[in-house]
Amino acid sequence: MSAAFIEIQFSGDQVFHLFKGVELGARKPQRMLDAIGAYLDSDVTRRFLEGVTPAGTKWPVSQRAKEEGGKTLVDTTVLMSGVTHDVQGDDLLHGLTEIYSAIHHFGGMAGRGKKVKIPKREILGITGRQQPRIDKIVTNWMDGLWD
């Protein structure tokens, strides 16, 4: 029976510098977080146009869209244009700039006297549809730490 093997030797200094670089890179995840934020921004914008939740479920069609034959929540594109993210240190903040986005995301009573029922239309979120892309961004970032 025969065997083949390769022996690679590193000096202590080489190993130390390699792991020191990985440690320093891991302390600076901002580029990775920004890439995740940019992906989530584009995902939300795409889903606005499709009228679906993060999981891919269709939103309830709005009365205006029914009457005018338009799309729900994209008539003026103000809400959709407010999709944004910000990296603050080790935190990724992702959301919408318009204060009224919450009533559309969570649903509830709105308008004068709270007489109009707005159905829940989830806008933000991460599900199994987004997770593989996020995993790839993280994996690519981690791979880059070894370069």
Residue 31 inside a domain? The answer is: yes
Residue 20 inside a domain? The answer is: no
Q: Domain tally for the chain?
A: 1
Structural domain boundaries, residue 87: 27-145
Question: What does the pLDDT look like over 126-136, one tens digit per residue?
Answer: 999 999 999 99
Longest dimension (CA), the chain: 86
pLDDT at 28: 80
Mean pLDDT across the chain: 85
Residue 134 inside a domain? The answer is: yes
Residue 119 inside a domain? The answer is: yes
Question: What does the pLDDT look like over 33-84, one tens digit per residue?
Answer: 999 999 999 999 999 999 999 999 999 998 889 999 888 998 888 999 999 9
Residue 99 inside a domain? The answer is: yes
- pTM, two decimals, is 0.80
Residue 124 inside a domain? The answer is: yes
pLDDT at 69: 87
